[in-house]
Amino acid sequence: MSQIARIAEIVLPVFGVIALGYFAAWSKLLSERAGEGLNDYVFLIAIPVMIVKTLLGAGLPEGSPWGYWLSYFIGVAIVWSLAQLIAWKLYARPGREAVIVGFSSSQSNVVLIGIPLVLTAYGEAGAVPLFLLIAVHLPLMMTAAMVMIESSETGVTREALMKLLRNLALNPLLIAFAIGAAGRLSGMTLGSGAFRQFVDLIAASSVPCALFAMGMALRKYGIFGDVKLSSFVVASKLLLLPLAVWLLAKYIFVLSPVWTGVAVIFASMPVGINSYLLAARYKTGVATVAGAVTLSTALSLFTVSFWLFVLGIG
């Protein structure tokens, strides 16, 4: 089988399920409430169960993952800083909106698209590096974004920091990672029998449900609110960030092919929905981010295929 055919086998089913979810929302076959319920199931139940299952069953890496984390987050820092500066200086956007633009240019849609793509491309070998990155991605990115937004005009307040810490502590993905890590350290296993089958069923539902929910969510975001700046965010996210991570992982920190591949695929994901939620929370840059989420998801079909080709998948 050729490399292009192998990439098509990985990418097309993933985006096919997203397209089906979009069609279900567009045709009103399913209501918006159905999409919200499915999204809650994915975030609150299915993905956390998958994380716990993976951490209890997968082999953990030998040595420190610091080079892996640094490869990704140095790339994030470069792209975030550049995008924020350009939004502020060239697009004349105020401080809070510039932060949102920088955050969106480096925030990946990991759960809904990243997990299915990485596991399809690398299988169990990609599970541990994937979830090691997920474990620090959300708290680090959200903490940095909210601190910068809060401090851009009024300074950081104790109330804002406490609310942020509370939200992170109650995040189901981080709770699942803590449970899985604690279970791993204590020697816990899932064993076999009815309980293992129950966990396997829930975990197996996470990927298709996440993709379908993503498709339904895209229907309401639109694309034409602020096309010029949205396009800049998309270019930064889909092209510049994976390029920076690839160069760092391959040539500076010299990671293994699988760990390099997971980091690059992670970086090549479309703009994360958390960017939209953050923009809506602070009522700034909403049109820009909504357009970027939709446009980047559509274009990522091609850019992800390109990066899979570069990584030699196939």
pLDDT for the residue 281: 72
Residue 63 has pLDDT above 60, yes or no: no
Name 271's bridge partners: 108
pLDDT at 164: 67
Query: Could you read off the pLDDT of 209-264 as tens digits, one per residue?
Result: 877 887 787 777 666 667 889 999 999 999 999 999 999 999 999 999 999 999 99
Asked if pLDDT for residue 1 goes beyond 60, the answer is: no
The residue range of the domain holding 212 is 3-310
pLDDT of residue 258: 92
Kindly report which listed range (68-77, 101-110, 150-159, 287-296) carries the lowest average pLDDT score: 150-159
Q: At what angle do helices 257-267 and 115-122 cross, to 10 degrees?
A: 150
Number of domains in the chain: 1
**pLDDT above 70 coverage of the chain, percent:** 91
In sequence order, what DSSP letters do the residues of the chain get, joined into one string?
Answer: --HHHHHHHHHHHHHHHHHHHHHHHHTTSS-HHHHHHHHHHIIIIIHHHHHHHHHHHSPPPSS--HHHHHHHHHHHHHHHHHHHHHHHHTS---HHHHHHHHHHTT-B-IIIIIHHHHHHHHGGGGHHHHHHHHHHHHHHHHHHHHHHHHHTTT---HHHHHHHHHHHHT-HHHHHHHHHHHHHHTT----SSHHHHHHHHHHHHHHHHHHHHHHHHHTTT-S-SSHHHHHHHHHIIIIIHHHHHHHIIIIIS---HHHHHHHHHHHTSPBPHHHHHHHHHHTSSHHHHHHHHHHHHHHHHHHHHHHHHHTT--
Question: For position 222, what pLDDT does the model report?
Answer: 65
pLDDT of residue 12: 82
Q: What is the mean pLDDT of residues 265-271?
A: 93
Lowest mean pLDDT among 5-14, 105-114, 258-267, 284-293: 5-14
The encoded tokens of residue 178 equal 């803590």
Among 104-118, 207-221, 297-311, whose mean pLDDT is lowest? 207-221
Domain at 228, CATH number: 1.20.1530
- The model's confidence at residue 62, banded by pLDDT at 50, 70 and 90, is low
> Is residue 19 very low, low, confident or very high in pLDDT (cuts 50, 70, 90)?
confident
pLDDT of 40 reads 83
- Tens of pLDDT, residue by residue over 127-182, are 888 888 887 887 788 778 877 877 765 556 677 677 767 776 777 877 887 888 78
| 278 — pLDDT class (breaks 50, 70, 90) | confident
